[in-house]
């Protein structure tokens, strides 16, 4: 057992080691029997579609800004080969951004459909796996 010579040192050990603070209390703490509720999750099953849509939209924005920067950079290049390669990168980034926008729209639309359906139908149509 760990013994501390002073109360200040014992409090520092409690904080540092993560020991329960009730061990230092002089009088016992009365506990009440309260019903234990299961913690409710912040995101319920089908609402992950909204998060996925937001992440995909942010990814699309990032690729869109990259594509615009590459297109502007290609205008300032003097070599035709470098300009063509840069424009190809800009086109592929723009295409990927458009695909991400479409996927984000589909994910949000899927989330909206599941949100508006009754709970039983939404659980059957949900793509989440239930253990």
What is the DSSP secondary structure assignment for residue 4, as one 8-state letter? -
Sign of the alpha-carbon torsion through 15, 17, 21, 24: negative
Q: 14-68, pLDDT tens digit by residue?
A: 666 665 555 555 555 556 666 777 776 666 666 788 899 999 999 999 999 999 9
DSSP classification of residue 6: S
Domain count, the chain: 1
| Domain span at 108 | 45-125
What is the DSSP track for 22-91?
GGG-SSPPP----PPPPPPPSS-GGGHHHHHHHHHHHHHHHHHHHHHHHHHHHHT-S-HHHHHHHHHHHH
Predicted pLDDT at 89: 94
Instruction: Give SS3 for 18.
Output: coil
Do the domain assignments include residue 18? no
Whether 118 maps to a domain, the answer reads yes
Domain assignment present for residue 23? The answer is: no
Could you identify the residue written with the tokens 């109360």?
7
- 39 found inside a domain: no
């Amino acid at each position: 057992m760990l013994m501390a010579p002073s109360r200040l040192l014992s409090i520092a050990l409690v904080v540092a080691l993560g020991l329960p603070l009730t061990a230092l209390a002089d009088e016992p703490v009365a506990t009440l029997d309260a019903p234990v509720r299961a913690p409710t999750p912040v995101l319920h099953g089908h609402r992950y579609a909204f998060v996925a849509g937001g992440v995909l939209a942010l990814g699309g924005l990032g690729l869109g800004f990259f594509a615009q920067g590459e297109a502007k950079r290609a205008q300032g290049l003097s070599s035709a080969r470098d300009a063509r390669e840069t424009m190809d990168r800009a086109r592929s980034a723009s295409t990927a951004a458009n695909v991400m926008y479409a996927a984000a729209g589909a994910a949000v639309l899927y989330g909206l459909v599941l949100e508006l359906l009754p709970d039983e139908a939404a659980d059957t149509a949900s793509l989440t796996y239930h253990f």
